[in-house]
Chain A
Amino acid sequence: MASNPPLRSPWQIQKSVVFALFLRELKTRFGSYKFGYFWLLLEPMAHVVVMSLIFSFVPDRSLFGIDFPVFIVTGIVPFLMFKNIALRVMDGVEANRALFAYRQIKPMDTFTARTLLDAFLAVAVSALILIGMAWFGLDVPFRDPFSLIFLMAILVLMGLGLGMILCVMTHYLPEARTLVRIAFLPLYFMSGVIFPIAKVPQEYLPILLWNPLVHVIELMRGAFFNQYHVVAEISPLFMVMTTLALLFFGLAWYRNKRRELLAI
């Protein structure tokens, strides 16, 4: 045999695998539907329209002078991103099982690729929608972009951590898949996506605050709008700690069970 090309470093291998998977996921997700890319915008917009309609019947809907559609978008896009990352990572091993016959592809690569793809799409979608809203004369302040980037990164990691935990869990308990999907609906209503936390009655607040998503979304709104009132109980520390905990348990469980995940 002719002289071998130089060996690739693990980093190079992983980089090309993640890149290849990223493109593959992107094409798979949108290639087969004519309106694939359009649907991407349609989903959050549908939430905005429906919620705007419902809340037009609510008597007290003062939002510190914030435009309601912009308010909803700043909640729904991050939430959908979180949900998509967690669910896509959960299904990452099962959906790509045939690919693991290529020795350089490992489950972690599918997790990474899927996470990156959904984060990338969420950024693109929110940019498009917000630019569109500004175009139509709504107030889109973008007060603190750096904090927003940080909070998005936190949310991405949170989704990845949860997704990995769910992936290993559903490997042993495949029936749980449906249940997990259903659980995202109540989570939607309990994460402050459609209402500001300041409007929540005091007695329910402590319960709600156990949900780390509440903290992220609330802080995002605080970083986005000039006049938004972030509740004093919101804790960046709690948010960061839960993210680290989810990531740690996700990675540890995956690492521990990675052979069983791939067993045929």
Chain B
Amino acid sequence: MIELQNLTKSYRLSNGERRYIFRDLNFCFPEGTNIGLIGRNGAGKSTLMRLIGGIDTPDRGRIVTDKRISWPVGLSGGLQGSLTGRDGVKFVCRIYGMTRDEMLEKVRFVQDFAEIGDYFDQPVKSYSAGMRARLNFGLSWAFDFDYYLMDEVGAVGDARFKQKSRQLMDERIGQSNVILVSHAMPEIARLCNVVVLVNDGQAILYEDVDEGIRAYQETAGVPQAKRPQPGMGNAPKSSIVPGTGGQAGPIAGKHQERATQSRQDTQI
């Protein structure tokens, strides 16, 4: 259970004015729900995610939870250019207070998952963007959390890696939950049980995901035609997998397109 009590968050504009992202928010996310955070660019979705993750602090109010919440999945903070990938993984293990054996196990998991070969023991600055992403995803999935924070995470890497991480993600979502920030409504519809729409200084909880998505599309001015089909990515999970190799199929391709699109969005 994650409970938000009187949560208020604002930030100061450069002209000294205060802008509220939301005021006195009171939510209780029931046990085992996957939470989608939606809203237009700059509405404060990511801030809400960071608050829930304990990375950012609210002006007032608090978040009560007994769940283990991850760092944002795919985050590269633990890695440092002059250090090796292995060093980065060990560092994150250490801040979680792991014993030597646990650490070795995580290192092995990341090494296997990332499949970057000898580069694992080379300085991170020599990595390509794809290699870095592989390492970061491996690192996130190596740890067991109750909630994984995902901010606009599309699939990364080549087709085969994309499938692998998607498969792992679906597997994990069976056991854990996600808090997902995304502009990709089909993904929200596929993964989430509740959505929170952040808009115009307030945040509204929708227990009915479709209703939330509809409300979002009204605020974003998106024509209704783009309604997602519930369960679109859910059923054919097995049908994606067999197609391995270069032939990734249309779903993976589409997924990538969405991912790049939303990445551009976030940078603005």
Contacts and interface: CB of A to CB of B under 8 A. Distances in A.
Interface of A: 1-2, 4, 8, 12-13, 16-17, 19-20, 23-24, 27-28, 31-32, 98-105, 259, 262-263
B78 A99 contact: yes
Contacts of B92: 102
Sorted nearest first, the 6 A-B pairs with minimum C-beta distance are A20-B94, A98-B77, A103-B54, A16-B97, A32-B82, A20-B95
A4 B68 contact: yes
A24 B55 contact: no
B200 interface: no
B74 to A, nearest CB: 11
Nearest to A104: B95
A105 B95 contact: yes
Nearest to A13: B97
Given A20-B91, A101-B55, A102-B95, A28 B80 contact: yes
A24 B80 contact: yes
A16 B103 CA distance: 13
Contact of A28 (B56, B68, B83): B83
Contacts of A32: 82, 123
Contacts of B75: 101
B105 interface: no
A31 B83 contact: yes
Interface residues of B, number: 30
Contacts of B77: 98-102
B257 to A, nearest CB: 27
A103 B123 contact: no
A11 to B, nearest CB: 11
Contacts of B87: 24, 27, 31
Contact of A101 (B11, B72, B83): B72
A19 B94 contact: yes
Contacts of B144: 1-2
Contact of A102 (B68, B78, B176): B78
B85 interface: no
Given A1-B146, A16-B97, A31-B83, A100 B55 contact: yes
25 contacts: A1-B144, A1-B175, A1-B176, A4-B66, A4-B146, A12-B97, A16-B94, A16-B96, A19-B94, A20-B91, A20-B94, A24-B87, A27-B83, A28-B82, A28-B83, A32-B123, A98-B76, A99-B77, A101-B71, A101-B72, A102-B55, A102-B78, A103-B55, A103-B71, A263-B11
Contacts of B176: 1
Interface string B138-176: 000000101000000000000000000000000000011
A100 to B, nearest CB: 7
B220 to A, nearest CB: 24
A16 B95 contact: yes
**Chain A at the B interface: SS class:** helix
A11 B11 CA distance: 31
Contacts of B175: 1
B133 to A, nearest CB: 15
A8 to B, nearest CB: 6
A1 B66 CA distance: 13
A113 to B, nearest CB: 11
A259 B9 CA distance: 12
Nearest to A7: B66
Nearest to A15: B97
A146 B69 CA distance: 46
B126 to A, nearest CB: 12
A189 to B, nearest CB: 34
B53 interface: yes
B57 interface: yes
B87 to A, nearest CB: 6
Contacts of A27: 83, 87
Contacts of B91: 20, 23-24
Contacts of B11: 263
A12 B123 CA distance: 30
A94 to B, nearest CB: 14
Contact of B82 (A2, A4, A23, A31): A31
Contacts of B55: 100-103
Contacts of A98: 76-77
B72 to A, nearest CB: 6
